[in-house]
Amino acid sequence: MMKSLLRLPVVVAAILGLSTACQTAPDEAASEAQLAWTSTLDANARASDRIVNGDRSTLAQWPYIAVLRHETRSGRLQYFCGGTFVARRWVLTAAHCFEGESRRLEGRWEWSPRAKLEVVGGTDDLGAGDGAVFEVDSVMIHPDYKPTMEVSPGVWEGSENDVALVRIGRTWTGQLARLSSGGPSDSDANGARAFVAGFGKQADSGAQARLETFRIGATDRTGQAGSRYLYHAMLPMKPPEVCGAQYADLAYDGSTQICAGRKFGGTDSCQGDSGGPLVALDASERTYQVGIVSYGFECAAAKSEGVYTRVSPYRDWIETTARGAMFVDADPEQVFVATAETMEAMARVLGPTRDRIDLTVTQEGEGANAALNIAVTPKIDGRLIVFELENSGRINTYFPNDRTPEDSAIVKAGQTIRLPEVPWMVIPPAEGGATVYAFVIPESVSFAGDLLPTPARMRTVAEEAQPEREPVDFATRMLTEVANRSSEGGLSDWAAATSTY
């Protein structure tokens, strides 16, 4: 049963009445600069795990981000939905952003605006007044769009085909979002990480849930949005079979939807982020869009991952409507989100490599004075990762850590790493026992940085801060795929060992 569906646009009140004219000038060809696929996220953005409770982002990270706005009767500019520039004259967004000013007629949706609709691009600060503003000529809502509906008291069905295209009246000259062609590019099947950005609310309740009012540049005009500034988040995607089971009562369709988020909440998109992008990274750390913010429960609530419209099934419709949209067959990044199921899968699949690494875990002292000593000696070159998985489900990262530069995590055969690395640091044994995992992986592969490294027990990541534990099948799929693409092929440059106490 669904409590409430809140990935809806910020409500626009008392908007002006206005008719619109549709221009039909042909689209212009993309420039060489637009065709160059260069958009990426820097290290700080890739490590971010918040949008609700969020981290500020920059236009350099999201150069193709767009935001929709109306003008209210008071003259205030209301920013209510996100989007992405996907062609020189087209913005990709969510169909539900136009609820209240669209209706279904003879098998299609007709948009009847009650106020002038504008798209703003080229800014990460809506109050700066430095963005490019485009009047909207027309809105094309997918003909098979079905809104979220309450089918009986307290029982909801999620939306279907929640996608729309907005045609702007003049040319966008900035970068364009690349769109996933599907297949291996849609890396949610492996439980990979994704990123979401927008100007939506920072919380579902309390002071941060209020819309933010701000002056726009040096003018006397005011704007209102969930957030004046652009925020982003890193979210683990959930495989279709996991989301399908969780959202079975909402008619969730894994072929046209993606869900992403954390079991214990705290990280999510929110109202006003609707229509914005869910992106993945390729092996060159370039972004490409896999989803569109669609719906969810209360923002960042426990066990209520957000639902996103999967972009790839709509390729034909997008390319037919928005000439110049660019779909890519991406080679997804080789990054693991450090979860219990990932470690268990790696240890199982890499079992035959046990003779390539020596791991010893000893304990000295008793009671409050007890401490662990860990020694790892790989017999192959590569990147060394040492985790501890407590029986309670908590994950601790021991190597690399804050005292270990990135380069020091690359080890040579025969090199011994001893933990803790300095005499005055102590690793207390976990109450209830634990398993220590040591992995040597190819240099080209890494773990997602959100769980690394900053020690707290040397680094304790509380269970509520971890992605949800799921059946290990998808983690095994990801590992197998990455292993098959490793530098030597197969498992020849991988090693794993475990020690339980």
The whole-angstrom distance between residue 154's C-alpha and the CA centroid of its chain comes to 29
Residue type present at position 415 = Q
Q: Which of 336, 465, 449, 461 is nearest to 47 (CA)?
A: 449
For residues 435 and 396, give the distance between their C-alpha atoms in angstroms, rounded to a whole number: 10
Q: Which of 47, 321, 391, 324 is nearest to 164 (CA)?
A: 321
Q: What is the per-residue pLDDT for 385?
A: 87
The 3-class secondary structure across 6-31, one letter per residue, is: CCCCCCCCCECCCCCCCCCCCCCCCC
Does 420 sit behind a cis peptide bond, omega within 30 degrees of 0 on the bond before it?
A: yes
Q: Encoding tokens for residue 468?
A: 């949800």
Q: Long-range contact list for 21-28, CB < 8 A, 24+ apart?
A: 21/137, 22/137, 22/138, 22/167, 23/137, 23/138, 23/167, 23/169, 27/87, 27/88, 27/89, 27/90, 27/322, 27/323, 27/324, 28/88, 28/89, 28/171
Q: What is the per-residue pLDDT for 12?
A: 29
Q: Please give the C-alpha separations between residue 194 and each of 23, 246, 259, 345, 376, in angstroms, as whole numbers.
A: 36, 19, 10, 21, 32
Residue type present at position 225 = A
Going by CATH, does the domain composed of 55-328 fall within 1.10.8.50? no
Residue type present at position 290 = V
- CB neighbours (10 Å) of residue 412? 9
The whole-angstrom distance between residue 359's C-alpha and the CA centroid of its chain comes to 35
Longest dimension (CA), the chain: 80
Q: Token pair 């221009």 is at which residue?
A: 23
Consecutive H or E run containing 321: helix 315-321
Query: Which segments of 328-472 does DSSP mark as H helices, in order?
Result: 340-349
Q: Token pair 């989007």 is at which residue?
A: 83
The domain at 340-452+486-500 falls in which architecture?
A: Sandwich (2.60)
Q: Encoding tokens for residue 454?
A: 């900053």
Q: What is the per-residue pLDDT for 464?
A: 45
- CB neighbours (10 Å) of residue 241? 14
For residues 136 and 21, give the distance between their C-alpha atoms in angstroms, rounded to a whole number: 9
**How high is the mean pLDDT in each 10-residue block of the chain (501 residues)?**
36 29 47 68 50 66 94 90 96 93 84 90 92 94 89 80 96 95 89 84 54 90 91 81 79 90 48 82 90 73 73 98 94 71 76 93 91 96 88 79 72 94 84 92 64 31 42 54 57 89 94
Q: Which of 311, 277, 309, 307 is nearest to 295 (CA)?
A: 307
Cα dihedral: 27, 119, 100, 301 (round 10): 120
- CB neighbours (10 Å) of residue 22? 11
Q: What is the per-residue pLDDT for 453?
A: 29
> pLDDT over 90 for what percent of the chain?
38
- Cβ atoms of 151 and 136 closer than 8 Å: no
**What does the domain layout of the chain look like in residue ranges?**
55-328, 340-452+486-500
Q: What is the per-residue pLDDT for 392?
A: 77
Q: Computed over its alpha carbons, how large is the radius of gyration of the chain?
A: 24
Consecutive H or E run containing 244: helix 240-246
For residues 257 and 152, give the distance between their C-alpha atoms in angstroms, rounded to a whole number: 23
**Each residue's pLDDT tens digit, 403-440:** 776 667 899 999 999 998 877 778 899 988 999 999 99
φ/ψ of 320, rounded to 5, equals -70, -35
The whole-angstrom distance between residue 358's C-alpha and the CA centroid of its chain comes to 36
String of DSSP letters for 162-212: --EEEEESS---S----EE-SGGG-GGGGT-EEEEEES--S-SSSGGGSPE
Residue type present at position 115 = A
Q: Encoding tokens for residue 306?
A: 């957000």
- Burial of 27 per CB tally in 10 Å (0-12, 13-18, 19+): middle
For residues 279 and 132, give the distance between their C-alpha atoms in angstroms, rounded to a whole number: 23
Strands (E), 391-494: 395-399, 410-411, 417-419, 434-441, 446-447, 460-461
